[in-house]
Homo-oligomer: A and B are copies of this chain.
Amino acid sequence: MRFMSDELADGRHLLTIGQLADYAGVTIKAVRVYHDRGLLPEPPRDSSGYRRYGAKHAIQLVKIRTLVEAGVPLARIKELLGAGPERFAAALDEIDRNLQKRAEEIRRTRQRIAQLHSGDRLFVSAEVTGYLERLRQIGVSERTVLLERDLWILLQSVAPEQAAAWIADKLAAIADPEFRALYLDYDAAFDWSPDDPRLPALAERTRRWYAGQDGSGAAGPPPDPTITRLAGVAAGASSPAWARIAELAKEVP
């Protein structure tokens, strides 16, 4: 009897759904979805069936919204809101790490978009452009991508047919996760000292990967010594560590 007016009067349930939504910067529809998904408890209704919200709902909604904007799926948010504070804190840490990762991805994507803009297309063939683009995509540093590009420019001017055959091999290789991992490790090794103890293992992995390819792909074109020397010299000159890897790989035939 007095029940309803008490609830209204004690300040717990005064907001309509529209006011609540405006406060949290959310649409009415979203609020109803959060009810459906069990994220936000259904508030009491007034005499005409309208939902009436209080400050606790507003707080909860802002929380939900913050997590949603951080990219947390609704199902996970529900789970988190029900969990204890230490679990919640741990989850927040992980969410923040994810956000950081996403920021990093955006940074890389922006670089790639920029390259898409003023393509390297002027200097190398479309195939090579695609290959370079792919390297950026998998996270290879811009420095190494530019080294690759310069190398291909040289190759294409010295021996266009060889270059065409090689780029085909590269396109096939880059589809192999093992090769991608190897490439990224090379990228990382650029700055290492030639004495770095990690280099022999990298050389061994390289040797094994090429062995695994034997007879299938790269064996085809007869290796023109001028060309291979060119490639080797170009790479070795840029990074002492890479030069050392080449040495190591040769030592164990």
Interface status of A165 (Cβ within 8 A of chain B): yes
Please determine whether A9 and B237 come into contact, CB atoms closer than 8 angstroms.
Answer: yes
In the assembled complex, the Cα of A117 lies from the Cα of B62 at a distance in Å of 13
Q: Which residues from B are CB-within-8-Å of A138?
A: 25
How big is chain A's contact interface, by range?
Answer: 35 or more
> Closest approach, in angstroms, between the C-beta of A12 and any C-beta of chain B?
8
Q: How many copies does the complex hold?
A: 2
Please determine whether A171 and B70 come into contact, CB atoms closer than 8 angstroms.
Answer: no
Please determine whether B66 and A6 come into contact, CB atoms closer than 8 angstroms.
Answer: no
Contact residues, A14-31 vs B (CB, 8 A) = 14-15, 19-20, 22-25
Stretch at the interface among A39-47, A107-115, A182-190, A202-210: A107-115
Please determine whether A58 and B157 come into contact, CB atoms closer than 8 angstroms.
Answer: yes
> Closest approach, in angstroms, between the C-beta of A69 and any C-beta of chain B?
5
Contact residues, A86-123 vs B (CB, 8 A) = 89, 92-93, 95-96, 99-100, 102-103, 105-107, 109-110, 112-114, 116-117, 122-123
In the assembled complex, the Cα of A109 lies from the Cα of B96 at a distance in Å of 9
Contact of A99 among B70, B92, B110, B230 (CB under 8 A): B110
Q: A20-B157, A113-B92 are in contact. Are A171 and B66 (CB under 8 A)?
A: no
In the assembled complex, the Cα of A133 lies from the Cα of B65 at a distance in Å of 10
Q: Which residues from B are CB-within-8-Å of A109?
A: 66, 69-70, 99
Q: Which residues from B are CB-within-8-Å of A23?
A: 134, 153, 156-157, 171-172, 174-175
Q: Which residues from B are CB-within-8-Å of A62?
A: 122-123, 130, 133-134, 137
Q: Which residues from B are CB-within-8-Å of A106?
A: 99, 102-103, 106
Residue positions of A touching B, CB distance < 8 A: 1-2, 4-6, 8-11, 14-15, 19-20, 22-25, 54-56, 58-59, 62-63, 65-67, 69-70, 89, 92-93, 95-96, 99-100, 102-103, 105-107, 109-110, 112-114, 116-117, 122-123, 126-127, 129-130, 133-134, 137-138, 149-151, 153-154, 156-158, 164-165, 167-169, 171-172, 174-176, 215-217, 219-221, 230, 233-238
